[in-house]
Homo-oligomer: A and B are copies of this chain.
């Protein structure tokens, strides 16, 4: 068979490193599409001039463009036969991605555990996104429930220990970043770090009703090949499941209204796709401030 059947649970080995296929150069086109697909308004990622005013060479690509591109490459090897995308942890953005950069993805299998049904298993992978200079731009752990090919195969159990929260001391700030000339009026809101209180909940107010064409354009853009997003024949109800990352980007973009001065995603402590999302759904977003930490950037 010439086509990729995807991997099943027993095809993964602990410690195995998978170099995912199809490197991707991303740039001005992906940036424009990101703005068309999501109501993103962060000034640093919208304007070269603004990015320069805070010490960067130009406007980097949105942190979630990097995430989706890196994630998409893992799908043919990790989640083509996934029953569910269970969670994320220990995510860190380690270097800006600039227009013209080429990203590829590498995953290491760090955990395996059969489910009690015996028909499926959970696979944990630590995925790195690497640019054309070999620099890791993004690093995260994901775990998925994958079908077994044969029920009787026994796979040794190994559950990784994951940090509940990314240690703020390990966060990486883009080199050169300097907020001393940050223009709050141009950025859209006056709120500073000190204005956010632990426990504060922000209703981001805006909402978006999602269309089929939008989530498919987005999901293809990230070269995510999961059939369930594109083919009405994949689910019994004939609906196309929306890529969870599309929802993440919508929520992040909606959060501008109240978090306009939080330009960078520096870590992903945890994440789960708790309910499926379909075209016609109307999405809202809210944030809760769980903690605060200072960085060394001026």
Which A residues are closer than 8 A to B by beta carbons? 2-4, 19, 21-33, 35-39, 41-43, 46-50, 59, 76, 99-100, 102, 104, 132, 185-189, 191, 195, 202-209, 211-214, 216-218, 220-221, 223, 225, 227, 230-233, 240, 257-260, 282
Closest 3 pairs between A and B when the two form their complex, measured CB to CB: A29-B32, A21-B188, A213-B213
User: Does the CB pair A41–B223 fall under 8 Å?
Assistant: yes
How close is A106's CB to chain B, nearest CB, in angstroms? 11
Residues of B within 8 A of A259 (CB): 2
Residues of B within 8 A of A31 (CB): 29
Q: Give complex CA distance A132, B260 in Å.
A: 21
Q: Give complex CA distance A197, B53 in Å.
A: 51
8 Å CB contact of A240 from B76, B102, B132, B209: B209
Residues of B within 8 A of A50 (CB): 23, 102
User: Does the CB pair A231–B282 fall under 8 Å?
Assistant: yes
How close is A53's CB to chain B, nearest CB, in angstroms? 9
Q: 23 interchain pairs (CB within 8 A)?
A: A2-B189, A2-B191, A3-B258, A21-B185, A21-B188, A21-B189, A22-B187, A23-B46, A26-B32, A28-B99, A30-B32, A32-B32, A39-B220, A49-B102, A49-B132, A104-B186, A207-B227, A207-B231, A209-B231, A214-B216, A214-B217, A231-B282, A233-B282
Q: Which residue of B lies closest to A59 (CB)?
A: B25
User: Does the CB pair B28–A46 fall under 8 Å?
Assistant: no
8 Å CB contact of A205 from B3, B35, B186: B3
User: Does the CB pair A232–B209 fall under 8 Å?
Assistant: yes
Q: Give complex CA distance A186, B207 in Å.
A: 39
Q: Give complex CA distance A28, B247 in Å.
A: 26
Q: Give complex CA distance A123, B261 in Å.
A: 29
Residues of B within 8 A of A47 (CB): 22-25, 102, 104
How close is A158's CB to chain B, nearest CB, in angstroms? 25
